[in-house]
């Protein structure tokens, strides 16, 4: 065992509890997710499958058995519908026949087959990548559109509920447990100014104009794997697959695709809009989602594109105010830097909203 941040002996014991049909020679930290801890497990047989070990963050996902049950239902449904079950996450159970392991410290672990020769991008650089990502997330929603929504439970209630997020934000300001509120007054004001306008999707949903669907809820671009030719291979990170609105997924992808800089760019001057990437993503997404989207949902997509960076900024700033307890950070002030980057993106989106909406409608017309 090498490259591990947990003691080797401990991780070896965890790995050996799983029914992995291979000899594992190393476990290395992998990926850039903000929530779970991920390790790539290397197979001694270079031609055989590698595996991916994850410690599920049970402070974020409070009911891991419920989450794993969702995952099982979703992956089974996808495998039944996708030819040969290819391009769907495959879980490896424990030797005791369970889908996850709980260790003596109370941590939850699971293992997937590692999808070799794939890449996940934190930053999108080509129209091909954006188009392929759009197809992957559109087809993901389409494939789940006939699954009984009542089977899928909420792993994090109110995940994209803006009222709930704003309430938590106001509570964090009021308690100001880390004495940080006075140093972020401009960012607080930015959020308060826009709070009301951002509740449109929620209101449309409450009024029954938008159908609840099974959606992914965490469609940032690094949650789709592409192959070496940038063809989409698999949608991953299924922990937040829950009932929600189609516009949430569209908006979260756009948040990461259209931005000319990273989600946490410190130099906000570098944050701009890459409109051709947005157009390519929209083309891929609507190509697949046209089979089930209603006109009201299509009208809501642009609102999702504005809401998701906004709600993300509310969550980052709340976490900053609460002392960085939710998102992994890589430096002090990281959550504030992320907040500012999302605000810069919201401003750019606001300035260009009509043009972006025009692209969505033109693309939609082509598919009618």
Q: Pick one of ligand GN1, Mg ion, ligand ADP, none as the site partner of residue 120 (Cβ within 5 to 8 A by kind).
A: ligand ADP
Which CB sits closer to ligand GN1, 237 or 265? 237
d(CA 39, CA 4): 8
Q: Pick one of Mg ion, ligand GN1, ligand ADP, none as the site partner of residue 130 (Cβ within 5 to 8 A by kind).
A: none
36 binds ligand ADP (CB under 6 A): yes
Q: Pick one of ligand GN1, Mg ion, ligand ADP, none as the site partner of residue 312 (Cβ within 5 to 8 A by kind).
A: ligand GN1
Q: Are the CB atoms for 111 and 92 separated by under 8 Å?
A: yes
287 binds Mg ion (CB under 5 A): no
237 binds ligand ADP (CB under 6 A): yes
CB atoms within 10 A of CB 58: 14
d(CA 243, CA 156): 11
Which CB sits closer to ligand ADP, 160 or 348? 160
Sheet holding 118-119, edge to edge: 118-119, 224-227, 232-235
Which CB sits closer to Mg ion, 286 or 311? 311
Q: Give the residues lining the site for ligand GN1 (CB under 6 A).
A: 33-35, 60, 218, 220, 223, 237, 240, 263, 312
Query: Segment near ligand ADP (CB under 6 A), from 9-17, 135-143, 222-230, 289-297?
Result: 222-230
251 binds ligand ADP (CB under 6 A): no
d(CA 319, CA 184): 13
Which CB sits closer to ligand ADP, 35 or 271? 35
Cα angle: 327, vertex 237, 45; to 5 degrees: 115
Which CB sits closer to ligand ADP, 36 or 352? 36
237 binds Mg ion (CB under 5 A): yes
33 binds Mg ion (CB under 5 A): yes
- Binding residue for ligand ADP, selected from 14, 136, 172, 236, defined by CB under 6 A: 236
What is the token pair recorded at 245? 């609105």
Strand partners, 118: 227
Q: Pick one of ligand ADP, ligand GN1, Mg ion, none as the site partner of residue 38 (Cβ within 5 to 8 A by kind).
A: ligand ADP
- Binding residue for ligand ADP, selected from 69, 102, 107, 118, defined by CB under 6 A: 118
223 binds Mg ion (CB under 5 A): yes
Contact track, ligand ADP, 56-95, x by CB under 6 A:
---------------------------------x------
Short-list 220, 225, 296, CA closest to 254: 220
Q: Pick one of ligand ADP, ligand GN1, Mg ion, none as the site partner of residue 297 (Cβ within 5 to 8 A by kind).
A: none
Nearest approach in angstroms of CB 28 to ligand GN1 is 18
Q: Pick one of Mg ion, ligand GN1, ligand ADP, none as the site partner of residue 52 (Cβ within 5 to 8 A by kind).
A: ligand ADP
Buried-state track 200-236, b at ≥16 Cβ within 10 A, e below 16: bbbebbeeeebbebbbbbbbbbbbbbbeeebebbbbb
Residues that bind Mg ion (CB under 5 A): 33, 223, 237
Contacting residues toward ligand ADP, per CB under 6 A: 30-31, 33, 35-36, 38, 52, 89, 112, 114-115, 118, 120, 222-223, 225, 236-237
């Amino acid at each position: 065992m090498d490259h591990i941040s947990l003691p080797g002996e401990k991780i070896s014991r965890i790995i050996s509890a799983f029914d992995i049909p291979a000899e594992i020679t190393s476990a290395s930290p992998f990926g850039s997710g903000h929530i779970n801890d991920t390790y790539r497990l290397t197979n001694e047989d270079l031609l055989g499958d590698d595996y991916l070990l994850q410690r599920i963050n049970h402070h974020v996902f409070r009911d891991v058995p419920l989450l794993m049950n969702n995952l099982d239902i979703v992956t089974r449904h996808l495998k039944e519908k996708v030819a040969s079950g290819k391009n769907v996450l495959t879980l490896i159970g424990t030797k005791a026949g369970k889908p996850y392991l709980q260790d003596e410290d109370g941590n939850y672990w699971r293992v997937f087959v590692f999808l070799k020769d794939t890449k996940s991008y934190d930053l999108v650089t080509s129209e091909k990548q954006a188009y392929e990502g759009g197809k992957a997330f559109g087809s993901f929603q389409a494939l789940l559109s006939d699954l009984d929504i009542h089977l899928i439970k909420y792993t994090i209630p109110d995940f994209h509920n803006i009222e709930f997020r704003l309430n938590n934000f106001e509570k964090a300001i009021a308690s100001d447990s880390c004495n940080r509120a006075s140093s972020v007054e401009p960012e607080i004001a930015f959020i308060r100014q826009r709070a009301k306008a951002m509740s449109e999707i929620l209101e449309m949903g409450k009024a029954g104009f938008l159908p609840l669907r099974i959606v992914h809820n965490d469609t940032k671009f690094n949650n789709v794997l592409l192959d070496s030719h940038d063809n989409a291979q698999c949608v991953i990170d299924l922990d937040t697959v829950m009932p929600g609105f189609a516009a949430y997924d569209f908006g979260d992808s756009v948040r990461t695709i259209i931005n000319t800089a990273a989600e946490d760019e410190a130099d906000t001057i570098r944050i701009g809009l890459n409109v051709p990437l947005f157009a390519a993503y929209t083309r891929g997404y609507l190509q697949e989602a046209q089979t089930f989207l209603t006109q009201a949902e299509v009208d809501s997509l642009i609102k999702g594109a504005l809401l998701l960076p906004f709600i993300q900024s509310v969550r980052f700033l709340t976490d900053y105010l609460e002392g960085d307890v939710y998102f992994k950070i890589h430096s002090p002030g990281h959550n504030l830097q992320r907040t500012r980057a999302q605000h810069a993106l919201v401003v750019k989106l606001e300035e260009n909203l009509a043009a972006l909406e025009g692209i969505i409608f033109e693309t939609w017309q082509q598919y009618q």
